Amino acid sequence: MKKLFVLLFSLLTISAYAEAPAEEGGEFKPGDMITHHIADAHKWEFAHGANLYLPVILLDNGQVQAFSSKNFFNEHGEEVPYNGYVLEHGHVYKANAAGEPLEEYSGLYDFSITKNVASMFVSVALLFLVFFSIAASYKKNAGKAPRGLQSFFEPIIVFVRDEIAKANIGPKYERYMPYLLTIFFFIWFNNMLGLMPGGANLTGNIAVTFVLALLTLLITVFSGNKSYWSHIFATPGVPTWLSPIMVPVELIGIFTKPFSLMIRLFANITAGHIIILSLFSLIFIFESLAVGPLSVAFAVFMNFLELFVALLQAYIFTLLSAMYFGGAVEEHDHVEDMGFGDGGHH
């Protein structure tokens, strides 16, 4: 059964990721193939020839234009202009009479449902489905042992509460639990969906990780108490003459922490996809039966490793967010910090 699963998984992944080149001469360009699969797009390609064309929604000088992205592709899958617009490298531009993009045109705003946006809608719908079902189970089985989905997710929720929120935030952890649970399961679910054949690289999109990190930053800043800000602008134990140096350093630290969250999640998820796609590319680069099984074996191994990374990255993002919140709400006793909290016997 395990061998059948691995074989089926491998075949599905190859069909979804490693499509043969269609350019003249048949030259395979792994860089183009990898970029194509990890980048956002106006169509969702589940496998070669199996496409879901997504809606294009444009605001052109105050006028809304809406149509299917299928209009940007001919029967051979090549990009073509449509209705005065052209799709180039995943971006929609105003087109001139020759069908060339007018990149300097500034009156066009793209609100299209792209592959990443559609994937986010799917993950949000899945999260609602799962957790509304769990909430219903809690009401139905009040005082009884958990069953079904509830029994699977309850230990994870308790872990986030006890080992992440309580341990790092302290008594005020409850107000942060909705956010911590949301980002943990949002990141985990989307990491897992991205590993499925034809899945979108949502958490490997820098814009998505930027918004998640920005939310953590805003919550940290607005949660900061008097003690937190006093440590920023008047660090205890630091001579006054060092303040012109320490204050900028502390202020920069406020932004570098969520910045590291953004880059860490983006880089780890994107790197995993690139490695897997690179391993499949070896099949078409060497065009050898000897390389094929070895490449697939390593790629399948990487897929299973990425299952662990998907959970690990959700845990790290949630853990560090909780640590930042804990630092913002913690009450510091400067006297005790200096070692005089027991009456000065030190």
What pLDDT score does 3 carry? 42
Q: Interior CA angle at 263 toward 251 and 280, to 5°? A: 175
Q: Where are the domains of the chain?
A: 55-112, 116-332
- How far is residue 153's CA from residue 148's CA, in Å, rounded to a whole number? 9
Tens digit of pLDDT at every position of the chain (346 positions):
444 444 444 444 444 444 444 444 457 777 777 887 788 888 888 777 788 899 999 998 888 999 998 998 888 778 888 888 998 888 899 888 888 888 788 888 999 999 999 999 999 999 999 999 988 888 887 777 777 888 899 999 999 999 999 999 989 999 999 999 999 999 999 999 998 888 888 999 999 999 999 999 999 999 988 888 888 887 777 777 777 888 888 889 899 999 999 999 999 999 988 888 888 888 888 877 778 888 888 888 888 899 999 999 999 999 999 999 999 998 766 544 444 444 444 4
What pLDDT score does 101 carry? 87
Task: Tell me if residue 129 falls in helix, strand or coil.
Answer: helix
What pLDDT score does 57 carry? 93
- DSSP one-letter string for 143-182: TS---THHHHHHHHHHHIIIIIIIHHH-TTGGGGHHHHHH
Cα dihedral across residues 196, 297, 33, 310: positive or negative: positive
- For residue 50, give every residue at least 6 positions away whose Cβ sits within 8 Å of its Cβ, in sequence order, or none: 198
What is the model's pTM?
0.84
- 242: how many CB neighbours lie within 10 A of its CB? 11
Token pair, residue 340, equals 């005089």
Nearest to 321 by CA among 236, 228, 214: 214
**CA dist 327 to 65, 206, 218, Å?**
48, 26, 14
What pLDDT score does 83 carry? 86
| Burial class of 25 by CB neighbour count within 10 A (0 to 12, 13 to 18, 19+) | exposed
What pLDDT score does 331 carry? 75
What pLDDT score does 16 carry? 47
Taking a C-beta distance cutoff of 8 angstroms, is the pair 203, 186 a contact? no
Q: What stretches of the chain adopt beta strand conformation (E)?
A: 43-47, 50-53, 55-60, 63-68, 85-88, 91-94, 108-110
- How far is residue 258's CA from residue 214's CA, in Å, rounded to a whole number? 7
C-alpha Rg value of the chain to the nearest Å: 25
Residue found by looking up tokens 């052109």 in the block: 60
Token pair, residue 103, equals 């990149």
- How far is residue 275's CA from residue 208's CA, in Å, rounded to a whole number? 21
Max distance between CA atoms of the chain, in angstroms, equals 85
Task: Tell me if residue 19 falls in helix, strand or coil.
Answer: coil
What pLDDT score does 182 carry? 95
Q: Which residues pair with 130 in a beta bridge?
A: none
What are the φ/ψ torsions at residue 99 (nearest 5 degrees)?
80, 15
Taking a C-beta distance cutoff of 8 angstroms, is the pair 98, 80 a contact? no
| Pairing of β 43-47 and β 50-53 | antiparallel
- How far is residue 202's CA from residue 185's CA, in Å, rounded to a whole number? 14
